[in-house]
Homo-oligomer: A and B are copies of this chain.
Amino acid sequence: MHNEIEEKFHDECGVFGIYLNNLDDGFDAAKTTFFGIYALQHRGQESAGIAVADGHKIELHKGLGLTTDALNMKRLNALKGNIAIGHVRYSTTGFPALIDAQPMLFHYRQGMMSIACNGNLTNSVELNKKLSAEGAVFQTTTDAELMANVLSRNSQVSMEEALVKCLPEMKGAFAAVILTEDCLLGFRDPMGIRPLCIGELRGNYILASESASLNTLGAKFIRDVKPGEVIIVDKDGYRARQALESTQHAHCIFEYIYFARPDSTIDGTNVYMARKELGRQLAREHQIDADLVISVPDSGTPSAMGFAEQARLPFEEGLMKNRYVGRTFIIPSQALRELGVRLKLNPIKEIVQGKRIVMVDDSIVRGTTSKQIVQMLREAGATEVHMAVASPPTKYPCYYGIDTSRREELIANTMSENEIANFIGVDSLQYITKEGMLKCMNSDERNFCTACFSGQYPIEPESIE
C-alpha cells in the first residue's frame, strides 16, 4: 500500500479533540472534529475516525482511507454530542485494517472511554506481558488498547486521576487524547517527543497535534501541552496537571524538517521559518558556484528559498509537481515503472537549460528518487546539478512513532557522502551539519531528539526488531 513514488519518512498519526460548551451557533463536535483532522491529513492517510460523547454515551465512526473517503457525512450527522476526538493514521504494516483504526472505543468498569494516540510506547512488550499474565486479551497491537488496559486497572477513581497515576508507567513518545462520556483529556510523553497543543474557539477548548489544525477552524492557539502534562477539559474549562517532570526534553526535530505543516508552530518554533533558516544555514555552510536554486517540492521549497536568499542566487520553480499525485496506485510494467518520479515531478526545460543548478531537498532516504530527478534535470539541459540537503544524513531508525521500517534502505547507513553523490549522479552533495541544524531552531528549549541522525536515543528502545 505504500506509494511507490514517495520515499520519505512517514509520520504515523494526528490527533484532535474538542469540548463544546457553546452549542448555539451551528458548530457540532463531530463535524468540527472532521475539519480538525482534515487539516491533519498529512499526518496519516490510511484511516480516519471520530468518537463523540454526549454526557451519557460515546459513539464512534471510523473507516479506511483519506478522511473524506473514510467518513460518511450521513453517519457524522448522526453522531450527536458536544465532545469529540478524532484521529488520522498512517500504518506501518502493509495492510491497513479497520480494527486498528483509531479512535478505539472501550467499555470498562466506569463506563466508556475512547482513545486516539500518536506515537509509540517503548515498553509495550513489557506492558503486554504484564497485562496478559493477569488474563488480559488484546484484539489489536495498538498502543491505544494497551493504554486502555492500563487505565482501566486504575479506574476506581476518575479518568483524570487514573491518567495522572498511570502516565509514569507508559514509556515512549506519544501524544494522545481520551474521551469519556463527559470529559476530554490529553497528554504528552515526558520528553515532549510528539507534539500536542491547546486552542480555543469561541470559548470552546481544543487539543490538536498541530496548530495549523486550530487555524483551519479559525481557533486561537493558546499554548503547547508541556511534556509530561495532562490536560483535562470539561464544562468548567480546561486545567492542567503535571503528571511527571522530565529533566530532559527531546522534541522530534523531523517534525520541523519534514512532517509538520509549514503553517504550524510547534513548541515555539514556526515550521516554515525553521525550514527557511535551515536553507540559509546550509548556504552559509556551503558555497556553491551556481546560476540557480530550485527545490524538490513541496517540502524542500522553504529551505530552497532560504538558500537562494543567503547565497544571493535566483530561486525558480524548476520542478513542477503534478498536484493529483498522492493517491496510491500500482504501476504495472517495468517500462512504465521508470515513469515513477516523472509522474510526480517534471523539470521546466526553459528554466534549467544551460544552467548550473543547486537543488535543495529536506532529506534523502533511499536516494532513488533524487537519482531520477537529477537525471531528468540533466536531460532537460542543466549543465551542473549540485544537491544541498536541509538535514544531516539519516542513518538510524526511529522508535518513536515514525515509519523507518525500510531501515536497511537508508542510503546514508550504507554509503559515504561521496558514494551517495556518485549514486545520485550529482556534481556535488552537501548536507547541513547537525550543529548548524540545531542552531536554526528558534526555541526556548534547545533539547531535540536527533536520534535518526546521531543514533543517540533519548529513551532506550525496548527491542530492535
Q: Residues of A at under 8 Å CB distance from B?
A: 25-28, 31-32, 35, 38-39, 41-42, 45, 66-69, 73, 76-77, 98-99, 104-109, 128-129, 132-139, 141, 145, 148-149, 152-155, 212, 215-218, 261-263, 265, 270, 272-273, 298, 301-302, 305, 309, 314-317, 320, 322-324, 326-327, 329-330, 332-336, 338-339, 342-343, 346-351
Query: In the assembled complex, how far is the CB of residue A251 from the closest CB belonging to chain B, in whole angstroms?
Result: 18
Q: Which residues of B contact A41 (CB under 8 A)?
A: 322, 324
B68 touching A327 by the CB < 8 A rule?
A: yes
- Using known A-B contacts A73-B330, A135-B152, determine if residue A272 contacts B317 with beta carbons closer than 8 Å: yes
B35 touching A350 by the CB < 8 A rule?
A: no
Residue of B nearest to A344 (CB): B216
Q: Which residues of B contact A326 (CB under 8 A)?
A: 323-324
- Using known A-B contacts A320-B212, A320-B272, determine if residue A35 contacts B336 with beta carbons closer than 8 Å: yes
A-B contact pairs, 9 of them (CB 8 A): A27-B336, A39-B346, A132-B152, A136-B152, A215-B347, A262-B348, A263-B348, A270-B348, A272-B317
Query: In the assembled complex, how far is the CB of residue A78 from the closest CB belonging to chain B, in whole angstroms?
Result: 9
The copy count of this chain in the complex is: 4
- Using known A-B contacts A137-B148, A332-B77, determine if residue A324 contacts B215 with beta carbons closer than 8 Å: no
B26 touching A342 by the CB < 8 A rule?
A: no
**A139: contacting residue among B105, B302, B305, B334, CB under 8 A:** B105
Q: How far is the CA of A263 from the CA of B298 in the complex (A)?
A: 16
Residue of B nearest to A325 (CB): B38
The interface residues of chain A, by DSSP majority, are classed as: mixed
The 5 closest A-B pairs by CB, nearest first: A26-B335, A135-B153, A109-B132, A263-B320, A270-B350
Query: In the assembled complex, how far is the CB of residue A464 from the closest CB belonging to chain B, in whole angstroms?
Result: 21
A320 touching B153 by the CB < 8 A rule?
A: no
**A107: contacting residue among B109, B138, B263, B315, CB under 8 A:** B138
A218 touching B134 by the CB < 8 A rule?
A: no
- Using known A-B contacts A263-B348, A317-B302, determine if residue A139 contacts B327 with beta carbons closer than 8 Å: no
Residue of B nearest to A269 (CB): B350
Q: Which residues of B contact A320 (CB under 8 A)?
A: 212, 261-263, 272
**A339: contacting residue among B217, B301, B350, CB under 8 A:** B217
Beyond the given A39-B322, A107-B139, A272-B348, could you list 12 further A-B residue pairs with CB under 8 A, ordered by the A residue number? A35-B339, A42-B323, A45-B324, A98-B99, A108-B132, A108-B135, A109-B129, A109-B135, A137-B145, A216-B339, A272-B351, A323-B326
A137 touching B107 by the CB < 8 A rule?
A: yes
Q: Which residues of B contact A333 (CB under 8 A)?
A: 26-28, 31
Q: Which residues of B contact A27 (CB under 8 A)?
A: 333, 335-336
A265 touching B148 by the CB < 8 A rule?
A: no
Residue of B nearest to A379 (CB): B218
Q: How far is the CA of A420 from the CA of B134 in the complex (A)?
A: 56
Q: Of residues A45, A309, A332, which shows the largest number of chain B Cβ atoms within 10 Å of its Cβ?
A: A332
